[in-house]
Structure 1
Amino acid sequence: MNSEQGLRGAYWIETAPGGEPAPPPSGGLTVDVAVVGGGMAGLSTAWELARRGREVAVLEAGRIAGGVTGHTTAKLSALHTLVYDHLRRTRGREGARLYAHSQSAAIRRAAELVDELGIECEWEEAAACTYAENPEHVAPLRAEAEAARDAGLPAEFVTGTDLPYPVAGAVRVTGQAQFHPVKYLRALADDLRRRGGAMYEGTRVTGLTEGEPCALTTDTGAEVRAREVVVATHYPVFDRALLFTRLSPRRELVVAGTLDADRAPRDMYITPEQNTRSVRSAPYADGKRLLIVTGEHFTPGAPGGADVEERFARLTAWADSRFPGLTPTHRWATQDNDSTDSVPLVGPLYPGSRHTYVATGFGGWGLSGGIMAGLLIADLAEGREPEWAALYDPRRLGSVVREGMSFLKHQAHVARHFVGDRLPPVTAPAPEDLAPGDGAVLRVGGHRCAVHRDDSGQLHAVSARCTHLGCLVAFNRAEQAWECPCHGSRFAPDGRILQGPAVRPLEQREIQST
Structure 2
Amino acid sequence: MSQETPEAAGGQEGPGVLAPGPLRADVVVVGAGITGVATALLLADGGADVVVLDKAAAGATTTARSTGKLSVLQGVQLARVAHHGDEAVGSYLAAGFAGLGWLRRTLEDLGVPVENRDDLTVATTAAQAPDVEAVLSTCSRHGLAATWEDEPPYPVPAFGAVRLPGQGQVDPLRMLSALRSRLRARGVPVHDGVRVRQVRRLRSGVALRTTRGTVLAEHVVLATGTPPGRLGGLFLRLEAGRSLLTTWDVPDPAALPAGFAGTMSITAGSPTRSLRMAGGLLMVGGEGYLTGREPNPAARLATLDDWTRTHLPVGTAHHAWAAQDYVSDTGLPFVGPAVPGDERVLVATGYGKWGLTTGAGAGLALAGRLLGEPVEWGSALEPWARPPEPTSRSAATFGEQSKGWACAATRPTGEAPAGSEVSRVCPHLGGVVRWNDQEQSWDCPVHGSRFAADGTLLEGPATENLARR
Same fold (TM over 0.5): yes
Indicate yes or no: 2:267 matched with 1:266: no
Name 2:342's counterpart in structure 1. Answer: 353
Deviation, structure 1 residue 462: 0.9
Matches within 5 A, 1:156-305: 156-211=147-202, 212-220=204-212, 222-259=213-250, 260-262=252-254, 263=256, 265-283=261-279, 289-302=280-293, 305=294
Deviation, structure 1 residue 356: 1.4
Matches within 5 A, 1:98-109: 98-109=91-102
Deviation, structure 1 residue 245: 1.6
Rounded to whole Å, the distance in 1 between the matches of 2:132 and 2:394 is 30
Indicate yes or no: 2:307 matched with 1:318: yes
SS at match of 1:421: helix
SS at match of 2:317: strand
Change (3 A) 1:414 1:86: closer
Alignment check: 8 A CA contact 2:65 2:172 kept: no
SS at match of 2:375: coil
Deviation, structure 1 residue 415: 1.8
Rounded to whole Å, the distance in 1 between the matches of 2:76 and 2:70 is 16
Rounded to whole Å, the distance in 1 between the matches of 2:209 and 2:230 is 16
Structure 2 letter corresponding to 1:269: S
Unaligned runs of at least 5 residues, structure 2: 1-15
SS at match of 1:270: strand
Name 2:464's counterpart in structure 1. Answer: 504
SS at match of 2:416: strand
Alignment check: 8 A CA contact 1:38 1:65 kept: no
Structure 2 letter corresponding to 1:420: K
Change (3 A) 1:225 1:423: closer
The correspondence for 1:94, drawn from 87, 96, 99, is 87
Alignment check: 8 A CA contact 1:141 1:157 kept: no
Name 2:330's counterpart in structure 1. Answer: 341
CA RMSD in angstroms comes to 1.9
Rounded to whole Å, the distance in 2 between the matches of 1:341 and 1:166 is 33
What percent identity do the matched residue pairs reach?
A: 33
Name 2:435's counterpart in structure 1. Answer: 475
Name 1:419's counterpart in structure 2. Answer: 402
SS at match of 1:233: strand
Deviation, structure 1 residue 162: 2.6
Structure 2 letter corresponding to 1:151: H
Name 1:429's counterpart in structure 2. Answer: none
Rounded to whole Å, the distance in 2 between the matches of 1:347 and 1:451 is 40
Higher mean C-alpha displacement, 175-184 vs 158-167: 158-167
- Which deviations, in whole Å up to 9, do the C-alpha atoms of 1:84-126 show, x marking residues without a partner? 23333x22122212211220111111000012232x3x42011
Deviation, structure 1 residue 334: 1.1
Unaligned runs of at least 5 residues, structure 1: 1-22, 284-288, 425-440, 510-514
Alignment check: 8 A CA contact 2:30 2:222 kept: yes
Alignment check: 8 A CA contact 2:241 2:326 kept: yes
Deviation, structure 1 residue 24: 6.8
Structure 2 letter corresponding to 1:106: G
Name 2:107's counterpart in structure 1. Answer: 114
Rounded to whole Å, the distance in 2 between the matches of 1:419 and 1:70 is 34
Rounded to whole Å, the distance in 1 between the matches of 2:304 and 2:43 is 41
- Which deviations, in whole Å up to 9, do the C-alpha atoms of 1:353-385 show, x marking residues without a partner? 122110000000011111011100001102232
TM-score when normalising by structure 2: 0.91
Rounded to whole Å, the distance in 1 between the matches of 2:31 and 2:145 is 34
Rounded to whole Å, the distance in 2 between the matches of 1:309 and 1:207 is 34
Structure 2 letter corresponding to 1:452: A
Indicate yes or no: 2:450 matched with 1:487: no
Rounded to whole Å, the distance in 2 between the matches of 1:59 and 1:150 is 41
The correspondence for 1:375, drawn from 364, 383, 402, is 364
Name 2:54's counterpart in structure 1. Answer: 60
SS at match of 1:101: helix
Rounded to whole Å, the distance in 2 between the matches of 1:238 and 1:423 is 21
Rounded to whole Å, the distance in 2 between the matches of 1:213 and 1:96 is 34
Alignment check: 8 A CA contact 2:411 2:425 kept: no
Number of residue pairs aligned between Structure 1 and Structure 2: 447
Rounded to whole Å, the distance in 1 between the matches of 2:81 and 2:64 is 29
Rounded to whole Å, the distance in 1 between the matches of 2:31 and 2:336 is 15
Deviation, structure 1 residue 306: 2.5
- Which deviations, in whole Å up to 9, do the C-alpha atoms of 1:53-109 show, x marking residues without a partner? 111111111113522112111111101211223333x22122212211220111111
Deviation, structure 1 residue 326: 3.2
Deviation, structure 1 residue 238: 4.3
Alignment check: 8 A CA contact 1:448 1:464 kept: yes
Matches within 5 A, 1:16-165: 25-27=18-20, 28-88=22-82, 90-118=83-111, 120=112, 122-165=113-156
Rounded to whole Å, the distance in 2 between the matches of 1:467 and 1:332 is 26
Rounded to whole Å, the distance in 1 between the matches of 2:429 and 2:87 is 38
Name 2:11's counterpart in structure 1. Answer: none
Structure 1 letter corresponding to 2:295: A
Alignment check: 8 A CA contact 1:466 1:472 kept: yes
- Which deviations, in whole Å up to 9, do the C-alpha atoms of 1:129-163 show, x marking residues without a partner? 11012234222212210111212322111123233
Indicate yes or no: 2:376 matched with 1:450: no
Deviation, structure 1 residue 337: 0.5
Change (3 A) 1:106 1:352: same
Rounded to whole Å, the distance in 2 between the matches of 1:317 and 1:397 is 42
Change (3 A) 1:347 1:111: same
Rounded to whole Å, the distance in 1 between the matches of 2:19 and 2:442 is 32
Structure 2 letter corresponding to 1:235: T
Alignment check: 8 A CA contact 2:29 2:52 kept: yes
Alignment check: 8 A CA contact 1:31 1:225 kept: yes
